[in-house]
Structure 1
Amino acid sequence: MRPSTTALERGTSSLATLPPLLPGILLTAAIAAIAIAIRSLTGWTALSPLILSIIIGMLIRNTLSLPAAIEPGIGFSLKRILRFGITLLGLQVTVAQILSLGGAALVMVALTLAASFLAIRLAGRALGVDSQLTDLIAAGTSVCGASAVIAANTVVRGKQEHVAYAVACVTLFGSISMLAYPLLASPLGLDERAYGLWSGATIHEVAQVVAASFQAGDVAGQFGTISKLARVVLLAPLVMTLALALRSGANGKGQSGGVPMPWFVLGFIAMMAVNSVVDIPTEASKSIVMLTNFLLSMALGAMGLQANIAKLKAEGWRPLALGAFGWVFIAAFGFVMLKLFGF
Structure 2
Amino acid sequence: MPIMRFAKIKTLMPGIFVSTIVGLAALFLSEHYGAPAMLFALLLGIAMSFLYEGTDCREGIEFTATHVLRIGVALLGLRVAFGDLIALGWKTGLLLVVAILSTIGVGLILAKFLGLQKRFGVLTGGAVGICGASAAMAISAVLPDDKNKDRDTLLTIIGVTAFSTIAMILYPIIAAQLGLDEVSTSIFLGGTIHDVAQVVGAGYSVSEPAGDLATLTKLVRVAFLMPVVLCILLVLKLNIKSGVKSQKIKMPAFLIAFFLLMSVNSLMDLPSALISGATDISRFALVVSIAAIGMKSNLSQILTVGIKPILLLLIETVWIAGLILFALPFLA
Same fold (TM over 0.5): yes
Q: Which residue of 2 aligns with 1:315?
A: 305
Secondary structure of 2:245's counterpart equals coil
Secondary structure of 1:129's counterpart equals coil
Aligned mate of 1:191, from 173, 181, 197: 181
Secondary structure of 1:100's counterpart equals helix
Q: Deviations over 1:233-268 (max 9, x none)?
A: 100011111121123227987832165543421211
8 Å contact 1:98–1:226 — kept in the other structure? no
Q: Which residue of 2 aligns with 1:304?
A: 294
TM-score (norm 2): 0.91
Q: Which residue of 2 aligns with 1:3?
A: none
Q: Deviations over 1:106-153 (max 9, x none)?
A: 111111111111112111111112333222211111110000111010
Partner Cα distance (2:175, 2:205) in 1: 10
Secondary structure of 2:48's counterpart equals helix
Amino acid aligned to 1:78: A
Q: Which residue of 2 aligns with 1:55?
A: 43
Partner Cα distance (1:247, 1:61) in 2: 34
Secondary structure of 1:19's counterpart equals helix
Aligned mate of 1:152, from 139, 143, 146: 139
Matched, 1:330 2:320: yes
Matched, 1:98 2:85: yes
Instruction: Note closer, same or farther for the CA distance 1:253–1:201 as it changes in structure 2 (3 Å cut).
Output: closer
Partner Cα distance (1:300, 1:232) in 2: 18
Structure 1 unaligned spans of 5+: 1-15
Aligned mate of 2:12, from 21, 32, 40: 21
User: How many residue pairs align between the two structures?
Assistant: 323
Q: Which residue of 1 aligns with 2:221?
A: 231
Which aligned segments of 4 or more residues in structure 1 are displaced greater than 6 angstroms?
Answer: 250-254
8 Å contact 1:178–1:212 — kept in the other structure? yes
Secondary structure of 2:116's counterpart equals coil
Instruction: Map residues 37-76 of structure 1 onto 2, 5 A cutoff.
Output: 37-42=28-33, 44=34, 47-61=35-49, 66-76=53-63
Q: Percent identity?
A: 28
Partner Cα distance (2:130, 2:288) in 1: 21
Secondary structure of 1:37's counterpart equals helix
TM-score (norm 1): 0.88
Instruction: Note closer, same or farther for the CA distance 1:18–1:143 as it changes in structure 2 (3 Å cut).
Output: closer
Which protein is bigger by CA-based radius of gyration? 1
158-167 vs 144-153, which deviates more?
158-167
Aligned mate of 2:119, from 111, 132, 150: 132
Q: Deviations over 1:190-212 (max 9, x none)?
A: 11111101111111111111111
8 Å contact 1:250–1:256 — kept in the other structure? no
